[in-house]
Amino acid sequence: MAAVEFVNATRTYEGTKQPAVDDLNLHINDGEFLVLVGPSGCGKSTSLRMLAGLEPVDGGSIRIGERDVTSIAPKDRDVAMVFQNYALYPHMTVAENMAFALKIQKVSKSEINKRVQDAAKLLDLEPYLDRRPKALSGGQRQRVAMGRAIVREPQVFLMDEPLSNLDAKLRVQTRTQIAELQRRLGVTTVYVTHDQVEAMTMGDRVALLLDGVLQQVDTPRALYESPSNAFVAGFIGSPAMSLVSSSIADGNAVVAGFPIPIERSAINNLNNAKSVMVGMRPEDLTVNAEGIPMEIDLVEELGADAYLYGKTPSEVGAPVSLIVRVPGDTKLTRGSRVKVKPTRTYLFEDSPTGKRLT
């Protein structure tokens, strides 16, 4: 077990100008479960593959524990990886798949047997040890891939979207199992996903990437509570935060005619900008006599809660989308008009990745 550190790590693919991973600085503590998350093409998988040694590092360095592994071959890094499509060895049985790395290390037969049996027990794979991957279901293959990583007892686990090929129910179930397993084994884990729910529920900390640039790395709670920019705010949370570009008048941000006061500290940060990005989470909006006018397009009833999806009416400027959380017994229906008042707002510079102002 060891800490992992990316120091100014950069990777540029041949024939492209923009780096896939741009100057990544990230410290992952010993035993930590860190989730790399972001939309497709954000460089999360590339970062993981750089750590595994499957992708060269064009600039900067990567350390595992005390060792600089930047130019060390994958086989000598002592990391275990779970691939998206599992990458099981097709001609080997489940037991042979799990034993492969140990055999290469020339671990004694009895030790290999013991470790494979232990992992199989842990993952409920005992009845399948003599089967080939072909004869297994998706969930079982996923567990074999996990088992192959576990028996290694490596310094770091790397997981590249290991749940994306499972059906929804199994995914939720396996999600908890993996998180629990990692806590039990205490092995430093880097986990890549594009699913923010997975990121929030599994990670000790979450690192959010966009276009190869690290946006923010923090605990799930902190990412939700204090996003450092508009992109993080919009990406984390489900349903997403409503982000509205609004003009400024008399120290207020005006959203569809409704003024929202801007704090003094934020005004100082604004540098005389003419507009500002206002972020409002669904739970921070309440239906009220006074507020932002909204026409409901869709009521999503989830039982305890319901979400109103709607737009501001076109009479008061270009329509902007809003999502509002209301109690589950709401009488509101599609087409009705309401006014919603924000109880808490987040202010950002007016751009898709605008910096947080308050």
Partner 1 sequence: MPAFSARLWFSRDLREVRLFLQKAKSTTKKTADKAKLKGLLYPAVIFVIILTQLPFLLTIVFSSINWNLLKPADRQFVGLENYATVFSSGDLIPALIATITMTTMAVVSSLLLGLLFALLLDRKFKGRALARTLIITPFLVMPAAAALSWKFSMFDTNIGAVNYFAGLLGLPEPAWITDYPMVSIVIVLAWQFTPFMMLILLAGLQSQDQEVLEAAAVDGSSTWKTFQLITMPHLRVYFEIAILLGTIILLQVFDPIAILTKGTGGTKTLSYLLYERAFIGLNVGEAAAYGVIVVVITIVLATLALRTLFSVFTRGVRA
Among 11, 141, 152, 325, binds partner 1 (CB under 8 A): 152
Q: Is 100 in the site for partner 1 (CB under 8 A)?
A: yes
Distance between CA atoms of residues 37 and 332, nearest Å: 35
Q: Which is nearer to partner 1, 52 or 217 (CB)?
A: 52
Q: Which is nearer to partner 1, 91 or 344 (CB)?
A: 91
Burial of 20 (0-12, 13-18, 19+ CB in 10 A): buried
Among 17, 134, 184, 274, binds partner 1 (CB under 8 A): 134
Q: Which is nearer to partner 1, 123 or 149 (CB)?
A: 149
Among 13, 25, 89, 114, binds partner 1 (CB under 8 A): 89
Q: Is 13 in the site for partner 1 (CB under 8 A)?
A: no
Q: Which is nearer to partner 1, 3 or 54 (CB)?
A: 54
Among 83, 181, 316, 358, binds partner 1 (CB under 8 A): 83
The residue behind tokens 């275990």 is 80
Q: Is 11 in the site for partner 1 (CB under 8 A)?
A: no
The distance of closest approach from Cβ of residue 22 to partner 1 in the complex, given in angstroms and rounded to an integer, is 23
Among 3, 10, 12, 54, binds partner 1 (CB under 8 A): 54
Among 76, 126, 225, 297, binds partner 1 (CB under 8 A): 76
Nearest partner of 188 among 5, 29, 24, judged by Cα: 29
> Which residues make Cβ contacts (< 8 Å) with residue 149, sequence separation at least 6?
80, 81, 82, 157, 159
> Which residues make Cβ contacts (< 8 Å) with residue 154, sequence separation at least 6?
78, 79, 80, 187
Among 16, 66, 90, 303, binds partner 1 (CB under 8 A): 90
The distance of closest approach from Cβ of residue 102 to partner 1 in the complex, given in angstroms and rounded to an integer, is 9
Q: Do the strands 213-218 and 205-210 form a parallel or antiparallel pair, or are they unpaired?
A: antiparallel
Q: Computed from CA positions of residues 271, 274, 280, 285, in that sequence, does the dihedral angle turn out positive or negative?
A: positive
Q: Is 104 in the site for partner 1 (CB under 8 A)?
A: yes
Among 26, 50, 57, 80, binds partner 1 (CB under 8 A): 80
Q: Is 14 in the site for partner 1 (CB under 8 A)?
A: no
Q: Which is nearer to partner 1, 82 or 276 (CB)?
A: 82
Q: How many residues sit close enough to partner 1 to count as binding (CB under 8 A)?
A: 28
* 17-26 long-range Cβ contacts below 8 angstroms, 24+ apart: 18/211, 18/212, 19/43, 19/58, 19/212, 20/46, 20/212, 21/46, 21/47, 21/50, 21/212, 22/211, 22/212, 22/213, 23/59, 23/60, 23/213, 24/60, 24/212, 24/214, 25/214, 26/207, 26/214, 26/217
Tell me if 125 sits within 8 A of 143, measured CB to CB: yes
Segment interacting with partner 1 (CB under 8 A) among 79-87, 115-123, 261-269, 331-339? 79-87
Dig out the tokens for 126 from the structure: 């005992």
Q: Which is nearer to partner 1, 149 or 214 (CB)?
A: 149
Q: Which residues bind partner 1 (CB under 8 A)?
A: 52-54, 73-81, 83-85, 87-91, 100-101, 104-105, 134, 148, 152, 158
